């Protein structure tokens, strides 16, 4: 009975506390982003003197400078090109390898999977020197193709694991049914397995895109010409030995974040749960 | 329509023999049920016929053509899977029409045949729905619709009712039987449920440990089981089996009781150990006397139209089914009479 009387207040209290906690966490998470915006809207050279939470004389001159005086558009385009190609090619590799590892039974399959995973255990810094030597021998240094290949090597191992996991979750009976219904092995893959794996493939694409987009080490090491820099490389160039163009750096960082957000929102609609429900039992 | 023939079929996974030298011949238009306990190889046999499992040795023919090397799509078969295997990203209409689209059937023809199949199975109102929006029974009907729409030579069913509740299973069983009567197509049905096998089949193939134990009509299997395994597998409640010996003349001895047989079973010599089977409804409660077995009543189960009694006779637990009201309590001593003509004698 006591519980019965107390019950109407309990959910309200919980909701209030939960809301306070969420707002506090959101503020902690979003404050750096907000501060980036404040600095980006501050006139060039005055970023260090900002003492208020709101910009006193907001200006877009830093954004204008980025695109008018600096090759920011070029760097962003390079990043988009490299990230899109690297994630798309990784997706193609990951999907086919993952499907094969999920469906084919052969000796050494588990060993192969572990070997693929082992490559993820190596820090990028430890493979950059051998990669540099390889790329020099292959003539891939200071080329966009080289950077794409480098990023693929970063993304593919996890893409294989992720896609194997997604294909494992699709009952093989669906493909068996498709083969009886008139499909070849490949037809069953394209008509049944692939459409059902779309949420997983979207997740792999996002992972590949973000990994490539954020890469600094490879683009800094494998590319030297300024016109081939990716945006990450370009943003770093605002930091000098004695002086940092903070306002430009913050403005560039905000611009840099936009494509990833767009990609995430575009791909998000493919990431739906329960795609398989109703297929069996 | 087509006949199907399994000739010396063997299936081996590494060192494990799943099927061993299986020979089955199925006539055109026949409804044959493969039945057996889990792991007996019945589903493997069906999947081999479908082309989903390679054959280790032997041959499978459909309409006298050996199909060992043919891919599933070229065997002119349709299969209903245990878990339905509906394509979750396609509507009911697209699921049913999928086999026709894959062979390039013109769109108007697909629409006509899909609506015919949907009409036959009562699925017309659900054609635009996704499988996840259907009940278990409706999904099962969609799976059947997808099979029916192809008009195949052979239908394969792999335990299609095992995921349904008891009442729906009975209804769907009737629908499958009606489908066979209507289409007259050869159907091969796998189940571990002997009641499904008995009610559906023209002939039953009992499998055990990868081998054919017996092939026959439901009544042949029920009345003349070839082995104690078939005797106990077919019929519910299961047949009682006693260990005994062949006494001299025409008597069998169970525990200390001699039971007269009408005729001496062939191939069993005097003193030979044997197994004696009798169905629960053929055993009667009687008075003590010659030829009766005595035991202790352990359990009385009321079934409404009959009662199932569990009685301990020596080391054997015996079930008897009786129509009479029972006033006895567990622990009471009862006497069982077993008509000689109802006994099934198996060499041990």
CATH of residue A226's domain is: 1.10.3720.10
Q: Which residues pair with B296 in a beta bridge?
A: B312, B333
Q: Which residues pair with B335 in a beta bridge?
A: B286, B294
Distance from CA of B204 to the nearest CA of A (A): 25
Q: Are residues A168 and A58 part of one domain?
A: no
pLDDT of residue A142: 93
Residue in A38, A72, A47 with CA at minimum distance from that of residue A245 = A47
- pLDDT, tens digit, 9 for 90 and up, residues A184-195: 999 999 999 999
Give the CATH number for residue B313. Answer: 2.40.50.140
Domain tally for chain B?
Answer: 2
Q: Are residues B201 and B317 part of one domain?
A: no
- pLDDT, tens digit, 9 for 90 and up, residues A214-230: 999 998 999 989 899 99
> What's the domain range around A97?
71-237
Q: Are residues A54 and A134 part of one domain?
A: no
Of A45-49, B187-191, B285-289, the one with minimum mean pLDDT is A45-49
In the block, residue with structure tokens 């899109």: A84
Q: Which residues pair with B297 in a beta bridge?
A: B311
Two structure tokens written together for A275: 């795609």
Q: How far apart are CA B68 and CA B74, in angstroms?
A: 11
User: CB atoms < 10 A from the CB of B48, how many?
Assistant: 24
Q: Are residues A226 and A110 part of one domain?
A: yes
The residue out of B204, B233, B262 marking a domain boundary is B233
Q: Are residues A204 and A173 part of one domain?
A: yes
Q: Are residues B217 and B312 part of one domain?
A: no
Q: Are residues A164 and A200 part of one domain?
A: yes
- Is the per-residue pLDDT at B27 higher than 90? yes
CA dihedral for B105, B107, B109, B112, sign (positive or negative): positive
Q: CA of A276: which chain B residue's CA is closest?
A: B88
Q: Are residues A134 and A41 part of one domain?
A: no
Distance from CA of B200 to the nearest CA of A (A): 22
Name every chain A residue with its beta carbon within 8 A of the beta carbon of B131: 278-279
Name every chain A residue with its beta carbon within 8 A of the beta carbon of B104: none
* B89–A contact, CB cutoff 8 A: yes
- pLDDT, tens digit, 9 for 90 and up, residues B293-325: 889 999 999 888 889 999 999 888 999 999 888
> What's the domain range around B125?
4-233
pLDDT of residue A43: 86
The residue out of B193, B216, B233 marking a domain boundary is B233
Q: Are residues A78 and A49 part of one domain?
A: no
Distance from CA of A103 to the nearest CA of B (A): 13
Name every chain A residue with its beta carbon within 8 A of the beta carbon of B13: none
Q: Are residues B273 and B186 part of one domain?
A: no
Q: Are residues A123 and A31 part of one domain?
A: no
Residues 6+ apart with CB under 8 A from B144: B80, B121, B160, B175, B176, B179
The model's confidence at residue B1, banded by pLDDT at 50, 70 and 90, is: low
**Within-domain flag for A44:** yes
pLDDT of residue A276: 64
**Within-domain flag for A15:** yes
**Within-domain flag for A194:** yes
In this structure, are residues B127 and B106 in contact, taking their beta carbons and an 8 Å threshold? no
Q: How far apart are CA B264 and CA B244, in angstroms?
A: 14
Could you tell me what percent of chain B has a pLDDT over 90? 68
In this structure, are residues B14 and B56 in contact, taking their beta carbons and an 8 Å threshold? no
Name every chain A residue with its beta carbon within 8 A of the beta carbon of B132: 274, 277-278
Residues 6+ apart with CB under 8 A from A211: A87, A151, A154, A155
Of residues A155 and B163, more confidence is placed in A155
- Is the per-residue pLDDT at B230 higher than 90? yes
Query: Following CA atoms B309, B313, B316, B319 in sequence, which dihedral angle do they give, to the nearest 10 degrees?
Result: -20
Check if the interface score ipTM surpasses 0.95.
no
* B320–A contact, CB cutoff 8 A: no
Q: Are residues B220 and B247 part of one domain?
A: no
* A170–B contact, CB cutoff 8 A: no
In this structure, are residues A281 and B84 in contact, taking their beta carbons and an 8 Å threshold? yes
- Is the per-residue pLDDT at A3 higher than 60? no
- pLDDT, tens digit, 9 for 90 and up, residues B187-207: 999 999 999 999 999 999 999
Q: Are residues B258 and B216 part of one domain?
A: no
Q: CA of A178: which chain B residue's CA is closest?
A: B99
* B105–A contact, CB cutoff 8 A: no
Name every chain A residue with its beta carbon within 8 A of the beta carbon of B83: 171, 173, 279-281
Q: CA of B140: which chain A residue's CA is closest?
A: A281
* Local structure of A147: helix, strand or coil: helix
Strand order in the sheet with B4-13: B16-26, B4-13, B57-62, B65-66
Give the CATH number for residue B66. Answer: 3.40.50.300
The residue out of B233, B265, B288 marking a domain boundary is B233
> What is the Cα B47 distance to its own chain's centre?
17
User: CB atoms < 10 A from the CB of A120, how many?
Assistant: 13
Two structure tokens written together for A257: 């974040």
Q: Which residues pair with B322 in a beta bridge?
A: B307
pLDDT of residue A7: 57
Q: CA of A198: which chain B residue's CA is closest?
A: B89
- pLDDT, tens digit, 9 for 90 and up, residues B322-337: 988 888 888 999 999 9
Out of B79, B133, B139, name the one closest to residue A180 (CB). B79
pLDDT of residue B169: 87
Q: How far apart are CA B283 and CA B339, in angstroms?
A: 7
The model's confidence at residue B171, banded by pLDDT at 50, 70 and 90, is: confident
Out of B75, B88, B98, name the one closest to residue A278 (CB). B88
Domain tally for chain A?
Answer: 2
């Amino acid at each position: 009975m006591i519980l019965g009387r107390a019950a109407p207040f309990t959910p309200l209290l919980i909701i209030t506390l939960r809301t306070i906690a969420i707002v506090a966490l959101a503020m902690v998470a979003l404050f750096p982003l907000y501060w980036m915006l404040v600095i980006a809207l501050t006139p060039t050279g005055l970023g260090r003197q900002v003492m208020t939470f709101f910009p006193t004389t907001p200006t877009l001159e830093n954004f204008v400078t980025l695109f008018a005086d600096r090759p920011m558009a070029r760097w962003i385009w390079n990043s988009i090109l490299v990230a899109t190609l690297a994630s798309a090619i990784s997706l193609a590799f990951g999907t086919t390898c993952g499907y094969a590892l999920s469906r084919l039974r052969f000796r050494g399959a588990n060993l192969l999977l572990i070997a693929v995973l082992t490559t993820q255990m190596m820090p990028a810094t430890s493979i950059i020197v051998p990669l540099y030597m390889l790329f020099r021998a292959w003539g891939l240094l200071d080329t966009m193709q080289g950077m794409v290949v480098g990023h693929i090597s970063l993304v593919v191992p996890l893409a294989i694991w992720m896609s194997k996991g997604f294909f494992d979750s699709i009952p093989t009976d669906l493909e068996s049914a498709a083969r009886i219904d008139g499909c070849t092995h490949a037809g069953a893959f394209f008509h049944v397995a692939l459409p059902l794996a779309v949420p997983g493939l979207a997740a792999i694409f996002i992972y590949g895109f973000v990994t490539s987009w954020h890469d600094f080490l490879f683009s800094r090491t494998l590319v030297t010409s300024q016109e081939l820099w990716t945006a990450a490389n370009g943003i770093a160039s605002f930091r000098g030995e004695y002086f940092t163009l903070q306002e430009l750096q913050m403005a560039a960082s905000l611009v840099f974040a936009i494509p990833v957000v767009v990609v995430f929102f575009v791909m998000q609609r493919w990431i739906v749960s329960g795609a398989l429900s109703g297929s069996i039992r | 329509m087509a006949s199907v023939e399994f000739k010396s079929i063997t299936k081996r996974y590494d060192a494990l023999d799943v099927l061993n030298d299986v020979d089955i011949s199925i006539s055109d238009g026949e409804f044959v049920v493969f039945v057996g306990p889990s792991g007996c190889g019945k589903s493997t046999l069906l999947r081999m016929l479908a082309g989903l499992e390679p054959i280790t040795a032997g041959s499978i023919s459909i309409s006298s053509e050996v199909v060992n090397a043919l891919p599933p799509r070229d065997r002119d078969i349709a299969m209903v899977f245990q878990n339905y295997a509906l394509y979750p990203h396609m509507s009911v209409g697209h699921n049913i029409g999928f086999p026709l689209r894959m062979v390039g059937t013109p769109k108007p023809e697909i629409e006509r045949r899909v609506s015919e199949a949907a009409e036959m199975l009562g699925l017309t109102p659900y054609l635009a729905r996704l499988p996840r929006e259907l009940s278990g029974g409706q999904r099962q009907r969609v799976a059947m619709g997808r099979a029916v729409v192809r008009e195949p030579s052979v239908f394969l069913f792999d335990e299609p009712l095992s995921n349904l509740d008891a009442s729906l299973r009975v209804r769907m069983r009737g629908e499958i039987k009606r489908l066979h009567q209507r289409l007259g197509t050869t159907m091969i049905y796998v189940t571990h449920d002997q009641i499904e096998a008995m009610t559906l089949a023209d002939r039953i193939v009992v499998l055990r440990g990868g081998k054919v134990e017996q092939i026959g009509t439901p009544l042949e299997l029920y009345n003349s089981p070839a082995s104690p395994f078939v005797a106990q597998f077919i019929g519910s409640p299961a047949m009682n089996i006693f260990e005994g010996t062949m006494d001299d003349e025409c008597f069998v001895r169970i525990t200390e009781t001699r039971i007269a047989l009408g005729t001496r079973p062939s191939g069993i010599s005097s003193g030979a150990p044997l197994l004696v089977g009798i169905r629960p409804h053929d055993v009667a409660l009687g008075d003590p006397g010659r030829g009766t077995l005595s035991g202790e009543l352990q359990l009385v189960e009321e079934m409404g139209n009959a009662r199932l009694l569990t009685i301990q006779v020596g080391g054997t637990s015996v079930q008897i089914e009786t129509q009479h009201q029972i006033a006895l309590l567990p622990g009471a001593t009862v006497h069982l009479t077993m008509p000689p003509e109802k006994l099934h004698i198996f060499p041990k």
